[in-house]
Structure 1
Amino acid sequence: MKNKIVKVEKGSIAEELGIEVGDKLISINDIEIKDVIDYKFLITDEFIVVRIEKENGDIWDLEIEKEYDEKLGIEFENSILDEATRCSNNCIFCFIDQLPKGMRKTLYFKDDDSRLSFLQGNFITLTNMNDEDINRIIKYKISPINVSVHTTNPELRVKMLNNRFAGDIYKKLEKLAKGGIEINCQIVLCPGLNNGNELKNTIEDLFKLYPSIKNVAAVPVGITKFRKGLFDITLYNKESSKEEIINMSKLQKKYIEKIGYPFIRLSDEFYVMAGMEVPNEEFYGEYEQLEDGIGMIRIFKSNIKRSLKKLKKNVKGDFTIVTGVSAFDTIKEAADQIMKLNNKIKLNVIKITNKFFGETITVAGLLTGQDIIEKLKECNLGQYIIISKNMLKSDEKIFLDDIKVEDIEKIFGKKMLIAEYTGEDLIDILNNFSKEE
């Protein structure tokens, strides 16, 4: 039932033709729909014949004339119309291998699926893809895709991914680039392995495929307290983070002179650990790498600065803002700016130490409900509690440990307000939930 239709949009082509929830999509133009890539490719034509199996078993062949790229207006039970491809690697830095037992099952699934890369922005390693798979990406123009590279050194990549098929990454990237596919690259940096000169060599290799590869993001390896019996990895500290920033700045300067932007960017965690100010807004371009934690601090600061003029001066409110260790100083600075403009608004910023995963995990997006509850029990809370959206499961008000927003609201008798982690709606939230005097 992977092709089962679970939603038909009102006023859509599908509704007009009598397609209903529970029907099953069989084929388009006599081509069987194996997955979402087939569907998205075939649906673009201006004239198509769609075969539907009704719930009672009847088969309908529907001739449809439409605008190019116009959608039918249907959604399926399974977003990719197939089982997601499992990861075949055993990466020495894998975060999932460091999760404790007892969390929800979906958190333990390691996907390495190009379709999810295209649809949801997931990163893939390309290790489980053969020439036929690569050709299909090129044929269907599945672009952009996000690739976890880590290193272009074949021997080192085999070691880091614990997969003897991992060494041909550059050959695959080159083929995708020649096929017109846009690629975003990610590197998880492990001190003493793929940083320093290895990182420099990797970046210079990837730049040879510019402009197909437009951006490279480098993030520090994350280590939880549950990492036992695994490869011994060194964490970044203040000195090594600063050294990485300085080393990369030389390459970034070269690329800025060549193409107008730095090509390789380090995540905000490096600057926080090094005690250094993040680069200016121009450095981050259109913030294409926000999901990797690249430029979060800068965009937050810029959004607060731009929106401060909207802050109402005749309102009074009392709020508690919850955040992680990495973002605390940035959020506290913004709170001080806001209270300076309106001293009738009280903002108490609470720093949550990650006891669930361990204190080495400092980002807000990996905070759990139980750590938040434990800390807030010690605090004098305002009328409202503000959290960032990236703490919650996508499109659901639930934390990593399955504690719900409503659970915390019941414990403390306070409403939780959910803000964008980029800060553009924080002032609006304060205005809307403060009282006029």
Structure 2
Amino acid sequence: MLKILHIHPDSIGDELELEAGDAVLAVNGQPVRDLLDFHLYSGDAVDFLLEVQKKQGELWDLHIERGLDEDLGIEFEHPEPTQCGNNCLFCFVHQLPRGMRRTLYVKDEDYRFSYLYGSYITLTNVGEAEIARIISQKLSPLYVSVHATDDQLRARLLGQKTPAILPLLKRLIDAGIELHTQIVVCPGINDGEQLRKSIIDLQTFYPGVRSLAVVPVGLTGYRRHLPALRVPSREEAAAILDTIDGLQNSFLVRSGSRFVFAADELYLKAQREFPLAPFYEDFPQWENGVGMVAMFRQEAGEALAAAQPLALEEVSLVTGESAAEELRRFAENLRDRTGVHIRVHVVRNTFFGGQVSVTGLLTGRDILEQLRDKPLGEALLLPAVMIKEGEDLLLDDLSLTEMERELGVPVEKVAATPLGLVAGLEVMDEILHGEEP
């Protein structure tokens, strides 16, 4: 059964007199074990039956009717993630500093989260019962970290003996499960000929393996007592891109898809120009940092066309080092359309140390320390990728309210896209310069 934690006022759940502490037993007669079952059995249905056990023990049968995309207003108990049993050479959790929220130190390896949220799993901690559930419930697509198709090399990378990966992938594909895959490249270990072999091996399963992302290893400054690793040099990043480019052309001719895509960070490291948006096809690995710059540039034209003059004069925008040049260019063009001077503040990630430069891993502490004495204008805009959804907290649990108090300006979170930035400016313009009622 699935426990209800909260009912939103004036929602469908509220109208049905559901309460925190009640539990859903079944949907349309199908027993519900967890949030995944509820999602699968109710989905986007507008009409279904709910069997509920009230917290006092009484059993209710409820007929649910809702509009398309109408939320039930019910918050359910979230499953505790299955813990990862790997000891990966490059595990990011192992190299985290202290001082962040507790959940960030959890090493999860849960096929349910892979299906629900697109998180990557290695499949080394998935037993026969879990494989059977994946197949019977058609949990597709799943997202799989392969890293190498040579089983001995993969075992070295994952830090434990692993089942043969290719037969397992074939079993899932034969059962109708679509897979998106990734390889985290560690120079001198799984690059070069091993990378080429892994890419070719995985592409033989296309379209069952729908896509492959090649991502450079991410390292912090807290790798004490951990294996020696390094990020790719400019030359090594260029060699990785050359390998991928050569294979993409043959894959496109043979199967109609490039299949394998390099993370944006590799283009930055190699100092090469990014491909245009059509190159990334349907952007299957966008949330893995693949094609973000191309999509940003594509959306920028649309955002500039929609932008209107505003009463705001000057605001500030926070970014990490990797996105800085792209945002600066867009901010200059947006100023011509809106009249708003956008100061792009590039915040260096000293909290993590090492070579972490993405915006999503910036902490409140670094922002405060580096912006405290800077001119911020009328407001500070923070990309939403930095903030815990639903709680307005940064990685180190600093709240937006605390940041406003410390910096002395309003703080507004915005979607990390051109349209999101335009919308954020419009919100602040309305808040600060809207007409009095």
Tell me if both proteins adopt one fold, taking TM over 0.5 as the criterion: yes
User: Matched residues in 1 for 2:82 and 2:310: separation?
Assistant: 55
Is 1:400 matched with 2:395? yes
Equivalent pair of 1:117/1:124 in contact (CA under 8 Å): yes
Q: 2:176 pairs with 168, 177, 180, which one?
A: 180
Matched with 2:202 is: 206
SS in 2 for 1:424: helix
Structure 1 outlier segments of 4+, above 6 Å: 44-49, 69-72
Q: 2:313 pairs with 306, 312, 317, which one?
A: 317
Matched with 1:162 is: 159
User: Matched residues in 1 for 2:378 and 2:30: separation?
Assistant: 58
Please give the TM-score of this superposition, normalised by the length of structure 2: 0.90
Q: 1:125 pairs with 97, 103, 122, which one?
A: 122
Q: Which moved more, 1:267-276 or 1:413-422?
A: 413-422
Q: 2:367 pairs with 369, 372, 380, which one?
A: 372
Is 1:79 matched with 2:74? no
The Cα of 1:314 is off from its aligned counterpart by: 6.4
The Cα of 1:101 is off from its aligned counterpart by: 2.4
User: Matched residues in 2 for 1:26 and 1:300: separation?
Assistant: 44
Matched with 2:33 is: 34
Matched with 1:291 is: 287
Equivalent pair of 1:366/1:391 in contact (CA under 8 Å): yes
The Cα of 1:425 is off from its aligned counterpart by: 2.2
The 1:352/1:102 distance shift into structure 2, 3 A limit, reads closer
Is 1:148 matched with 2:145? yes
Equivalent pair of 1:8/1:74 in contact (CA under 8 Å): yes
Q: 1:250 pairs with 242, 246, 251, which one?
A: 246
User: Matched residues in 2 for 1:262 and 1:336: separation?
Assistant: 34
The 1:65/1:306 distance shift into structure 2, 3 A limit, reads closer
User: Matched residues in 2 for 1:47 and 1:364: separation?
Assistant: 42
Deviations 1:27-66 (A, max 9, x none): 4577653323443445579998754322222234x27598
User: Matched residues in 1 for 2:323 and 2:191: separation?
Assistant: 25
The 1:348/1:406 distance shift into structure 2, 3 A limit, reads same
SS in 1 for 2:3: coil
Q: Which moved more, 1:43-52 or 1:174-183?
A: 43-52
User: Matched residues in 2 for 1:63 and 1:2: separation?
Assistant: 15
The 1:419/1:30 distance shift into structure 2, 3 A limit, reads closer
SS in 2 for 1:26: strand
**Letter matched to residue 59 of structure 1:** L
User: Matched residues in 2 for 1:403 and 1:414: separation?
Assistant: 16
**Letter matched to residue 86 of structure 1:** Q
**Letter matched to residue 57 of structure 2:** G
User: Matched residues in 1 for 2:269 and 2:248: separation?
Assistant: 20
The 1:182/1:71 distance shift into structure 2, 3 A limit, reads farther
The 1:318/1:170 distance shift into structure 2, 3 A limit, reads same
Q: Which moved more, 1:188-197 or 1:311-320?
A: 311-320
Q: Which runs of 5+ in 2 are unaligned?
A: none
Q: Which runs of 5+ in 1 are unaligned?
A: none
**Letter matched to residue 162 of structure 1:** G
The Cα of 1:152 is off from its aligned counterpart by: 1.1
Matched with 1:418 is: 413
Matched with 1:98 is: 95
Equivalent pair of 2:310/2:426 in contact (CA under 8 Å): no
Equivalent pair of 2:52/2:59 in contact (CA under 8 Å): yes
SS in 1 for 2:377: coil
User: Matched residues in 2 for 1:77 and 1:53: separation?
Assistant: 14
The Cα of 1:391 is off from its aligned counterpart by: 1.0
Q: Which moved more, 1:30-39 or 1:370-379?
A: 30-39
User: Matched residues in 2 for 1:347 and 1:243: separation?
Assistant: 37
User: Matched residues in 1 for 2:267 and 2:189: separation?
Assistant: 20
Is 1:237 matched with 2:233? yes
Is 1:89 matched with 2:61? no
The 1:395/1:267 distance shift into structure 2, 3 A limit, reads farther
User: Matched residues in 2 for 1:178 and 1:241: separation?
Assistant: 35
Matched with 1:215 is: 211
The 1:46/1:120 distance shift into structure 2, 3 A limit, reads closer
User: Matched residues in 1 for 2:126 and 2:250: separation?
Assistant: 34
User: Matched residues in 2 for 1:414 and 1:16: separation?
Assistant: 40
Q: Which moved more, 1:246-255 or 1:41-50?
A: 41-50
Q: Which moved more, 1:89-98 or 1:167-176?
A: 167-176
**Letter matched to residue 416 of structure 2:** Y
Equivalent pair of 2:50/2:63 in contact (CA under 8 Å): yes
Equivalent pair of 1:5/1:25 in contact (CA under 8 Å): no
Please give the TM-score of this superposition, normalised by the length of structure 1: 0.90
Equivalent pair of 1:153/1:167 in contact (CA under 8 Å): no
The 1:108/1:253 distance shift into structure 2, 3 A limit, reads same
User: Matched residues in 2 for 1:226 and 1:385: separation?
Assistant: 30
